[in-house]
Structure 1
Amino acid sequence: MKKILLLALCCFINYASFSQIIYEEFKSDKLGETRRLKIQLPRNYETNTEKKYPIVLVLDADYLFEPVAGNVDYFSYWEDMPESIVVGIMQGNTRYEDCAYDDKTFMPGQKGASFFEFIGTELIPYIDKKYRTAKFIVGVGHDFTANFLNYYLFKDPPLLNGYINLSPDMAPMMEERLATRIPQIPGKIFYYLATGSDDIKGLMEAAEDLNTQLKDVKSKSFNYYYDNFDGATHYSLGGRGIPNALEKMFSVYRPISKKEFTEVLLKTDTPISQYLLDKYKVIEDLFGITNNIRVNDFIATATAAEKRKQWESLREIATLAKKQYPETVLGPYYLGRYYEEIGEPKKAMKIFQGAFDKEEVDFITIDKMLDKADKIKTDFGY
């Protein structure tokens, strides 16, 4: 029994150390009251002291926080999205007042106007000051709060970069306004809209109408995604929409997949080394974070360069890998392969031999490197 209790305690401590959930009471001058916040920091926030993180802002955090935070943690663990700070605003019975709009302009009115200012001029600056944040914010809302997120598209520049709209209860004229406004926004916007076949009828029809308008928006900077889940109700669609939205919005961040390798790397007109650099430049520009190139992406692009006989690209990839992962065999292996292919076997042999004290990576082992060196030595009689 003691062992079971000890194991349970260890698991709890381990989970708590990973999840880092923080509750805060935030006194708002704009609202004239205190609001309860729920914040999840990334798993390694305390140890990665130089790293900055995007913000995922969750309205209706009383019930949306856990599914959003759980998915953010899961996707970031597998590097399908950047680690992010999840900030939830507990609204409870205030959600209708928070999202109120003027009866004539249909823009935030009364307390809704104060709540709009609270998020933009108090909460986000506070989070930016207290935590290490990157300049990329995704908002998540459901019905009334989903509609409310859209108001930030009318700021210059918009407060949010990404909008996850789960069965939005649209204010009058919102559909037309969005279709007109979005092409005027120069920066990249990621917009996800979801409904379900068993959603509230009026909301489902409104979502379908909005989709009809947004899917035809002409803008290179507008990234739009839509789901109508078969059998999903007004409340169950969130469980399917949240992961879909995160996966689609952050698709460029993901490691190079088999599909990307086959359909893009093996066919692109861009030199493969440049494709790799461009991919990480887009990640830096979009999400405001600078990461080392993943080992997976080095191997994928180097393999593609070999298959397409782009030897200069292979040299550039190897040089970059050697710089970013100097303790591993990654750079030396592909640099050796480069010299093999351009007809300088002696250089290749010395590079393979010189990597005997490096760390192995994936299929690139020390034995493989030394075997290649021995084969060159035998073939050329060095």
Structure 2
Amino acid sequence: MTKKLLSLWLVMLPVIASAQTIYETISSEKLGQTREIKIQLPRNYEANTEKSYPVLVVLDGDYLFEPVAGITDYYSYWEDMPEMIVVGVNQAGHRESDGFYDEQRYLPADTGADFFEFLGMELLQKIDEKYRTAPFRMIVGHDFTSNFINYYLLKPEPIFQGYINLSPDLAPEMADRITKVLSSSETKKWYYMATGSDDIPQLKTKIMAFDNQLKNINNKLVEYKFDNFEGATHYTLVGKAIPSAIDEMFKVFRPISRRDYEEVLLQTTVSGYDYLVEKYETINELFGIEKKIRLNDFMAVYNAIEKTQRWDEYKDLSKLAEDHYPNTMLATYFEARYEEETGNPKKAMKTYKKAYGQEKIAFLTVDFMLDKAEQIKKDFGY
């Protein structure tokens, strides 16, 4: 596993090197002091002026920002997660005061309450004002700050939808409170937690007990994943947990996989067209992103239709292709296949010929389309 992680980091080095980090200082009325933050904008942020981006807040930004920002940039480059604005909050010298909670209610108090309001009322507001942000927000913390991020879940309308807990140092009653909140949540939530076989024993005991509570939650709106990494210490688990959390939280965002193709699209009871539409509607609804349907996802549905012979689906798929890839041969090809397989060869032949003057796409070229038309002409003697 160590060799695999080393290989991943070596692959990521040029990606991280090309990502630009902005260093800013924020003056906070809540804290009565200034705070240093780090911001990584998506690669093409300046060029894509019409695009908005979800926000990922990283506590312990003095050491946690770089691994989170690097993996985020790497995964988004391969479209395994949406491009995000990553904001790291440096807490060197402030960790304990930032996460302070009282010993009676076990809730943020004094400097902890100030820091709670700083993140929610000042930092995020400044990020929203200065950058193009989408509604979806995530937050990540490690041990003491991991406990702190959970306080946002206790609010009636949490400002974060995704929570990455790296070996949390849980306050008393936190496990019961979060279990109750997630069990009754009426909005979508992502919750990730990780420990390791060599984690700090007193932390791990509480984390394992907390996991036993969370895994019994019966709420379809909550996506929960837990990892207990073999051989990982309190600090090395971070490098394994971040990509694992991202894999889980953004699985709907990823391109249609071989597993999706075989276990979903090839099932005759499932409409490939409906699956494709619902996938991208979900991406829009959850992450606030109007995403163009990937060509490879169109091709996955196309191959499934050819295998299952659900020819009627080509009709709607053609209209969808026209919306996302206008002026190309994609919609024309799907329309022609529909006519060809539903008993209208002459109409299919004419449709294939419409490709002349359209842009080629994937395997579709003018020669290919005209050859298809010519073959129908020969077969039926037109």
What RMSD in Å do the two structures reach over aligned CA positions?
1.7
How many angstroms does 1:235 deviate by?
0.4
> For residue 9 of structure 1, what is the aligned residue in structure 2?
none
> For residue 333 of structure 2, what is the aligned residue in structure 1?
333
Instruction: Please give the per-residue CA displacement for 1:206-256, whole angstroms capped at 9, x wherever unaligned.
Output: 111110000001211111000000000100000000001001100000111
Is the contact between residue 76 and residue 82 of structure 1 (CA under 8 Å) also seen in structure 2? yes
> For residue 379 of structure 2, what is the aligned residue in structure 1?
379
> For residue 151 of structure 1, what is the aligned residue in structure 2?
151
SS of 2:45's partner is coil
Q: 2: distance between equivalents of 1:362 and 1:188?
A: 36
How many angstroms does 1:112 deviate by?
0.6
How many angstroms does 1:365 deviate by?
3.2
> For residue 4 of structure 1, what is the aligned residue in structure 2?
none
Q: 1: distance between equivalents of 2:117 and 2:351?
A: 60
Q: 2: distance between equivalents of 1:267 and 1:161?
A: 32
Does residue 97 in structure 1 map to residue 97 in structure 2? yes
Q: 1: distance between equivalents of 2:350 and 2:70?
A: 49
> For residue 54 of structure 1, what is the aligned residue in structure 2?
54
SS of 1:253's partner is coil
> For residue 7 of structure 2, what is the aligned residue in structure 1?
none
Percentage of pairs with the same residue: 53
Which runs of structure 2 are paired with 1:1-382 in the superposition (5 Å)? Answer: 19-267=19-267, 269-382=269-382
How many angstroms does 1:13 deviate by?
12
Amino acid at match of 1:175: A
Unaligned runs of 5+ in 2: 1-12
Is the contact between residue 268 and residue 308 of structure 2 (CA under 8 Å) also seen in structure 1? no
Instruction: Please give the per-residue CA displacement for 1:165-198, whole angstroms capped at 9, x wherever unaligned.
Output: 0000001111111112212221111000000001
Amino acid at match of 1:147: N
SS of 2:93's partner is helix
Q: 2: distance between equivalents of 1:207 and 1:362?
A: 49
Is the contact between residue 265 and residue 271 of structure 2 (CA under 8 Å) also seen in structure 1? no
CA pair 72-268 structure 1, distance change in 2 beyond 3 A: farther
Is the contact between residue 264 and residue 270 of structure 2 (CA under 8 Å) also seen in structure 1? no
Q: 2: distance between equivalents of 1:241 and 1:294?
A: 28
SS of 2:312's partner is helix
Q: 2: distance between equivalents of 1:79 and 1:327?
A: 25
How many angstroms does 1:272 deviate by?
2.1
Amino acid at match of 1:45: Y
How many angstroms does 1:14 deviate by?
10
Q: 2: distance between equivalents of 1:345 and 1:308?
A: 20
Unaligned runs of 5+ in 1: 1-11
CA pair 178-362 structure 1, distance change in 2 beyond 3 A: same
CA pair 268-161 structure 1, distance change in 2 beyond 3 A: farther
> For residue 3 of structure 1, what is the aligned residue in structure 2?
none
CA pair 14-257 structure 1, distance change in 2 beyond 3 A: closer
Is the contact between residue 311 and residue 341 of structure 1 (CA under 8 Å) also seen in structure 2? yes
Q: 2: distance between equivalents of 1:269 and 1:83?
A: 34
Instruction: Please give the per-residue CA displacement for 1:334-376, whole angstroms capped at 9, x wherever unaligned.
Output: 1111111011112222222221333333333333222211111
Q: 2: distance between equivalents of 1:372 and 1:14?
A: 43
Amino acid at match of 1:339: E
How many angstroms does 1:323 deviate by?
2.2
Is the contact between residue 144 and residue 168 of structure 1 (CA under 8 Å) also seen in structure 2? yes
Amino acid at match of 1:97: S
Is the contact between residue 196 and residue 229 of structure 1 (CA under 8 Å) also seen in structure 2? yes
SS of 1:225's partner is strand
Q: 2: distance between equivalents of 1:15 and 1:235?
A: 21
SS of 1:92's partner is coil
Q: 2: distance between equivalents of 1:187 and 1:99?
A: 26
TM-score, with normalisation over the residues of structure 1?
0.93
Q: 2: distance between equivalents of 1:60 and 1:205?
A: 23
Is the contact between residue 139 and residue 149 of structure 1 (CA under 8 Å) also seen in structure 2? yes
SS of 1:192's partner is strand
